[in-house]
Amino acid sequence: MDLKESYLLGIDLGTTNVKGNIMNGEGKLIATASRSLGKIFPGQNMIEQDPERWWNSTISILKYMTALAGDEVVSKIKGISISSQCPTFLPLDENGVPVHNAIIYADGRAVAETDEITEKLGFEKFVNIVGGQPSVAFLPGKFLWFKRNLPDEFERTATIMQANSYLNYKLTGELTIDIDTASRTQLMNLSTLKWSKEIGDAIGVDLDSLMPPVKKCTDIIGTVTKAAAEQTGLAEGTPVVAGCSDAMASMYAIGLSKLGDAGESAGTSSLIFASAPRASASDVPVVTRPVGLETMPFVYDGPIGTTGAALRWYVEQMGEADIASSIEAGKNIYDYMNKVALTINPGSDGLYFFPYMAGGERAPIWNSHARGMFIGLNLTTDRAHIIRSIFEGTAFALRHVMDAIKDAGGVAENLRITGGGSKSMTWNKIKASMLHMPVYVLDDISGDVPFGDILLAGHAVGIYPDLSEAVTKMVKIKEVVEPIPEWEAAYDKLYPYYVEMYKHLDADLKGLQSTVTSLCS
């Protein structure tokens, strides 16, 4: 097969943006585009997105890219793969029309329902079935909340979709879910890789009838329909593969392929993953994902709910003066914040930030009651302290997850970063120093999540017979950021306080959330 004249399309639907790349088989970028995605906040701890905006934004990037690439290239696109944020609860009716907005992973409305299901099954049994800790981020609690609180919409629901599955459906007309994303819903029995009857019974639903057929990530699920081709500019009949989560696409995009490799998909939230020689025990606070590479049989991962979103929150809520200063300095606001953070000592002069702002926290504490906090404010604290503490607080959370991964048997000797967070050199230096390991900054194509989708699509259609070899060959490291010794010493002294302060406040945070809920009801 002529790699130069064979083309692939990768799309990633994140929380903030949808982005796509068209590349040839040699890794040359032909066209790229992205569009922003909004969020909807219908109530306390509720975060939704409009699935039609997902699709319309995807149409927009596809029309732009296909026009830029030209008809000849479009006709030679051999395969399409789509990844996305997950898990998502998107109910469709029997005609494939959404009956409700998509309830995304960051939504925290179903705390009581999540606790109820866990108690009904028993913690140990629940963990053994789904392979991870119960959390409001996953779908069992959201399913039960939807059934109880929106009975009319539930009655009209014929199937539950994920974000990438919905885009696949719009392109092909086929209702499916890939095995990787399915394994991240907590509706699947990870021992049998089938929808769990026990979880379904606890919710009071038949998962086999409400969840779509599960496909391998590299299965070709269908082809672009005539209607989708007319909307997007794609060629009718182009193969579409089942795809995967943004986490798996990120893993391929950043080049994880052997023991010792670790990575972070650093966007609105973050997913941390590290290589592992064997599956972990089911009761550890990280999740085992089978990879199937001889050089890296498994990956352990742990999601952090709020990383990049914390910086955006600061800019939107408190950053007016910083925005003005950045404009005066001729800098992007985030570039300006990177510079400002460096004016403050490591440790932010005792100011700690706990980034539990998205309806609790997932790994490694798995606590729906946790909330974001600043501890250590005083009358000399200024905006620069707050900015640096946000960078550091999210890095403390990263170390907290990485410690759990290593305790479970994961192996991490370097950290490869992809996503918007990788563009911050200040953040990269803090992370390298926090973890005592080099941070690998990848080139502008490597590390881009749609690049991971392209590698997967290429493997599915036979362009890359050996996926591990393709990953190793095509992923390029642009810069290596080494730890700063003075910062390493400071963070080693400060990190234990981060862990212990959370432990001491845990019970109070749970009581506080219960009180706030009662006051708001």
CATH of the domain at 36: 3.30.420.40
Do 351 and 231 belong to one domain? no
Do 236 and 263 belong to one domain? no
pLDDT for res 137: 92
Question: Which one of 207, 223, 247 terminates a domain?
Answer: 247
Runs of H (alpha helix) within 349-484: 383-407, 425-435, 449-460, 467-474
pLDDT for res 471: 84
pLDDT for res 258: 87
Do 178 and 223 belong to one domain? yes
The three-state secondary structure class of 298 is strand
- The pLDDT of residue 446 is above 80: yes
Domain enclosing residue 13, as ranges: 3-247
453-463: pLDDT as tens digits: 999 999 999 99
- The pLDDT of residue 84 is above 80: yes
Judge contact between 456 and 244, C-beta under 8 A: yes
Do 186 and 285 belong to one domain? no
Q: Count the residues in the chain.
A: 521
Do 231 and 292 belong to one domain? no
Question: Which one of 195, 221, 247 terminates a domain?
Answer: 247
Do 103 and 160 belong to one domain? yes
Query: CB-based contacts of 439: which residues, under 8 Å, 6+ apart?
Result: 414, 415, 416, 417, 428, 429, 431, 432, 480, 481
pLDDT for res 387: 99
Do 368 and 415 belong to one domain? yes
Q: How many domains in the chain?
A: 2
pLDDT for res 63: 99
Helix, strand and coil content of the chain, in percent to the nearest 5, comes to: 45, 20, 35
Question: Which one of 247, 267, 300 terminates a domain?
Answer: 247
- What are the backbone angles phi and psi of residue 505, rounded to the nearest 5°? -95, -5
pLDDT for res 287: 82
- The pLDDT of residue 521 is above 80: no
Do 126 and 181 belong to one domain? yes
- The pLDDT of residue 4 is above 90: no
Do 282 and 164 belong to one domain? no
pLDDT for res 212: 98
Runs of H (alpha helix) within 150-196: 151-156, 163-172, 179-182
Q: Within its chain, how far is the Cα of 445 from the centroid?
A: 19
Do 310 and 223 belong to one domain? no
Confidence band for 257, pLDDT divided at 50, 70 and 90: confident
Q: Is residue 66 part of a domain?
A: yes
Query: What does the mean pLDDT of the chain come to?
Result: 95
**Which among 468, 467, 472, 474 is positioned nearest to 218, based on CA atoms?**
467
Q: Is residue 294 part of a domain?
A: yes
Q: Is residue 50 part of a domain?
A: yes
- The pLDDT of residue 292 is above 80: no
pLDDT for res 368: 87
pLDDT for res 326: 97
- The pLDDT of residue 42 is above 90: yes
pLDDT for res 288: 81
Supply the pTM of this predicted model: 0.82
Do 302 and 221 belong to one domain? no
pLDDT for res 85: 95
Confidence band for 147, pLDDT divided at 50, 70 and 90: very high
Q: Is residue 369 part of a domain?
A: yes
Q: Is residue 232 part of a domain?
A: yes
> Residues 28-37: what's their mean pLDDT?
97
Q: Is residue 32 part of a domain?
A: yes
- The pLDDT of residue 356 is above 80: yes
SS (H, E, C) 48-90: EECHHHHHHHHHHHHHHHHHHHCHHHHHCEEEEEEEECCCCEE
Q: Is residue 49 part of a domain?
A: yes
pLDDT for res 76: 98
- Cα–Cα distance for residue pair 43/517, rounded to 1 Å: 12
| For the chain, percent of residues with pLDDT exceeding 90 | 82
> Residues 106-123: what's their mean pLDDT?
95
pLDDT for res 372: 97
Do 233 and 273 belong to one domain? no
Any idea which of 167-176, 262-271, 289-298 has the lowest mean pLDDT?
289-298
| For the chain, percent of residues with pLDDT exceeding 70 | 99
Q: Is residue 155 part of a domain?
A: yes
- The pLDDT of residue 282 is above 80: no
372-414: pLDDT as tens digits: 999 999 999 999 999 999 999 999 999 999 999 999 999 999 9
